[in-house]
Amino acid sequence: MSTDESVLRAWAYLMRVAEPPHTGLRDLVEAEGPVAAAQAIRSRKVPAGFNGVLSVTNVRAEHDLSAQDLDAAAAVGARLVAPDDEEWPGWQLWGLRSADTVERGGPPLALWVRGSRCLADEVAAGIGVIGSRASTSYGEHVTGQIVGGLVDAGWAVISGGAFGIDGTAHRAALGCGGSTVAVMACGIDVDYPSSHSSLFGAIARDGLIVTEYPPGSTAARHRFLTRNRLVAALSTAVVVVEAGARSGAANTAAWARKLGRPLGAVPGPITSSMSLGCNRMIADEQAALVVDAQALISLAAPDGQGGPNRGPVRRIDELTGDRQRVYEAIPGRGAITVDEIALNAALDVGRVMAALALLEVDRFVAAVGDGWSIVRD
């Protein structure tokens, strides 16, 4: 077995050995690497401080289906994307590491991805469009209008592949010639709901299907709730088109707020139970009122930038090397420390400081207190 194959097999084993997500398992992998972590779990001899991993992997540790899982993924045109891969959406998932979210999920260990497009590129210009499974004709009509505007502006549409608003959003994006990403609560080779099989095939051709669950995994209620954090995290902004008082869409909206993603909601008739959640979010100022695509785009890109095909070439397109990596490691809003920039850019602090000095001279960044922020034109 080659080194690359052994690493891939290790990742596949780790993706199944515990019900995702599990922060202790992820910490072990980050500390030891995937191959050593997999071996430690198989041998039941983990490093000090990681004994908790033994209990959550006890049932599955001896069941190594890594080869079968990789074959099953390949059979449907899917691959396993790990954090050290170029298309890993590290920046989008970083917020899941924060203290107020990690206990309820944390980042995925890795992701199974079906489709030929680059995951990082798709979600970098992606907006979440979500809503009730029991959608109304009003909700479906509004979804089509909003998605059409997003596609025209160059945005990808991210949703959960379910009945109702999710399915309408995916179909509208594909129908307008755009791209869409379906984040699933089942295995990459499982079509759930089964009646969306042809839709998932179309998404795989012209977009991406993403999941953290190994091949063959069936959908379950707790997996939908766990999946919702990924829909929110991978989206630049999220809009809820229709939602009841308590729904999966409301859960995803809560994750968006927790992760600091701009959140919008479409108002609906006060007589419709499917708009109760949206109307409440707007009234309670938990979500901005969204009536069209432009309002949503303004939430996602308040500075007027966003989407892969919008506007003239910007000055940042001239950046290369360390300057480009450091600039892209700084979030669009707020300031972060040099150490955080170094971690995001995977560069040592000395190189980061040198790049920051050049970027500051050219007015790309500015020092703010103990951190650095992007300078907006």
49, HSE (Cβ side, Cα atoms, 13 Å) = 6
Q: What would the pLDDT profile of 316-365 be if each residue is shown by its tens digit?
A: 667 888 898 998 888 866 789 999 999 988 999 999 999 998 888 888 88
Cα–Cα distance between 377 and 375 in angstroms, integer?
Answer: 7
> Domain coordinates of the chain in residue numbers?
1-64, 112-300, 315-374
For residues 157 and 127, is the Cβ–Cβ distance under 8 A?
yes
* pLDDT reading at 310 higher than 50: no
Half-sphere exposure of 246 toward its Cβ, with a 13 Å CA cutoff? 0
- DSSP assignment, residue 263? E
pLDDT of 312 reads 36
Q: What is the pLDDT of residues 96-152, one digit of tens each?
A: 987 667 666 789 999 999 999 999 999 999 999 999 999 999 999 999 999 999 998
Q: Is the pLDDT of residue 175 over 90?
A: yes
The reply to whether domains 112-300 and 315-374 share a CATH topology is no
* Per-residue pLDDT tens over the stretch 178-187: 999 999 999 9
CATH number of the domain at 315-374, out of 1.10.10.10, 3.90.930.12, 3.40.50.10860, 1.10.3720.10? 1.10.10.10
Q: What pTM does this model have?
A: 0.79
CATH code of domain 112-300: 3.40.50.450
pLDDT mean over 270-287: 93
Residue with tokens 């609906």: 268
